[in-house]
Amino acid sequence: MLTFDVNWIAIVVLMIINMGLGAIWYGPLFGKPWMAATGIKLEDIEGKNMMPPYVVALVNSFSMAFFMANVIAWTGTASLGGGLLLGLFMWLGFTGFSFGVNHAFEMRSLHLWIINSGMYLVGLLIMGAVLAIW
């Protein structure tokens, strides 16, 4: 059953961490390869209102952390290894291969799938680990 008796401080911290991860992931780490793989150029986004995508990303970060906290509570996971395993399972079951289907039908490259789904893998691993031990 869904619970709201979760570690709200951890959820807020994880939202911030996940947003920071996204900024680093799609900035200095993989920004140029991501732009090349999507065909987006810096000129395409300069001067555009980027608030809507950031709001969606913030809501997504909250949702991931909140529901991961529920999964942690349901399973009684209270170890670093268990949290990492749950993060991996959430990625395998719901994120990684879902991205793969979209990328396949959109005829996007494996490289782009690795970039996009990889960010969620790292984010879910961090969320699972932190929520399990905090």
pLDDT band per the 50, 70, 90 thresholds, residue 101:
very high
3-state secondary structure of 46: coil
Question: Please, what is the average pLDDT of the chain?
Answer: 96
Query: For residue 33, what pLDDT is reported?
Result: 97
For 25-108, where are the alpha helices, taking DSSP H only? 31-38, 42-45, 51-75, 80-90, 97-105
Domain count, the chain: 1
Give the span between the Cα atoms of 31 and 23, in whole angstroms: 9
3-state secondary structure of 7: coil
Using alpha carbons, select from 83, 89, 107 the residue that is nearest to residue 10: 83
pLDDT band per the 50, 70, 90 thresholds, residue 120:
very high
Domain that residue 49 falls in: 8-133
Confirm whether 111 is domain-assigned: yes
Query: For residue 15, what pLDDT is reported?
Result: 98
Confirm whether 95 is domain-assigned: yes
pLDDT, one tens digit per residue, over 102-112 is 999 999 999 99
The predicted model gives 68-91 an average pLDDT of: 98
Confirm whether 55 is domain-assigned: yes
Confirm whether 2 is domain-assigned: no
Using alpha carbons, select from 63, 69, 70 the residue that is nearest to residue 95: 63
pLDDT, one tens digit per residue, over 6-65 is 999 999 999 999 999 999 999 999 999 999 999 999 999 899 999 999 999 999 999 999
Distances from the Cα of 78 to the Cα of 35, 41, 72, 125, angstroms: 39, 44, 8, 14
Confirm whether 109 is domain-assigned: yes
pLDDT band per the 50, 70, 90 thresholds, residue 128:
very high
